Amino acid sequence: MKSKRFSGLAKICVSAVLVTCGAAFTSNGLQTENGKTPVLAPSKHFERVLIIVLENQDYSSSMSNEFLAKLATKGTSFTNFKNPYHPSYPNYLIDLGESYGNVVSVDTKDPHNAFVTAVEMFRKDPKKFPLPRYMFYTPNLDDDGHDPFYNSGKGLQKGSHWLETFFGTWFPWDQKEMHGTLVVVTYDESEGNEKNDRIYTVFLGDMVKNQTVDKEYNHYSVLRTIEDNFSLPQLNSGDANAAPITEAWK
């Protein structure tokens, strides 16, 4: 569960990264605005990552959805991926590279917070500006499946419908233009009906195997995997103590 204020924070985070990156991803590959190839830190498995977070579903509920179940067969699907915290705000912070206890609150009505983007920018921006190496996106409370809060079945349908539209219209992850892009689809937390708190998580991209992984992972594992991919140091104890996900790569 998340507040409307945090929904605005997530959009600010992704758009802020979008406008500060210095290399554009075009059909001809990575380029700067003057057409030159930039010098980038080496990566191990993927050139950039997009994390998409939906809301409040148990793993079994998600896998009962036709679109999500089919999507799971197109990449590496994790059957034992768990959320570390309830409620879910700390889980979002983990995916954003923060730690629980170091919380930043952003008021989206503040005129200083100008970097609010719309979903259309995922398709429009790469034509003029870069796709960053790290992207995070969570839709509004309707589209992420949060609402109606007391009808998780309806929320599941709304969230999966948004995701299908997002991939079909705004972010064609399986097309050649997205080569090198890892897409992580996950949930913030479970409904709480399963004792083990498993949540749906799938890795998608041309570098990912089509398989099922049963090993236990969580949101910290995703952060550690991104750090490991770009040879970055760990930020705090949670990711430092987590193992990077190694089974996913071709």
Average pLDDT, the chain: 74
Q: Is residue 9's pLDDT more than 50?
A: no
Provide the pLDDT for residue 58: 86
Q: Select 4-240's CATH number: 3.40.390, 3.40.720, 3.30.870, 3.30.70.
A: 3.40.720
Lowest mean pLDDT among 36-45, 107-116, 197-206: 107-116
Lowest mean pLDDT among 42-46, 187-191, 209-213: 187-191
Percent of the chain with pLDDT over 90: 35
How many C-beta atoms lie closer than 10 Å to residue 67's C-beta? 15
Residue 152 pLDDT class (50, 70, 90 cuts): confident
Provide the pLDDT for residue 64: 95
Buried b (16+ CB within 10 A) or exposed e, 208-225: beeeebeeebbbbbbbbb
Query: Could you give the CA distance from residue 19 to residue 73 in angstroms, rounded to a whole number?
Result: 33
Q: Which residue has the higher pLDDT, 16 or 217?
A: 217
Provide the pLDDT for residue 210: 97
Provide the pLDDT for residue 103: 34
Provide the pLDDT for residue 88: 52
Provide the pLDDT for residue 109: 39
Lowest mean pLDDT among 23-37, 54-68, 203-217: 23-37
Exposed, middle or buried: residue 26 (CB in 10 Å: 0-12, 13-18, 19+)?
middle
Q: DSSP letters along 187-249, please?
A: ES---S-STT-B--EEEESTTB-SEEE-S-EEHHHHHHHHHHHTTPPP-SHHHHTSPPP-TTB
Residue 87 preceded by cis peptide, ω within 30: yes
Provide the pLDDT for residue 197: 84
Q: Is residue 106's pLDDT more than 90?
A: no
Provide the pLDDT for residue 189: 79
Measured between alpha carbons, how far is residue 143 from residues 102, 120, 155, 162 in Å? 27, 15, 8, 6
How many C-beta atoms lie closer than 10 Å to residue 114's C-beta? 10
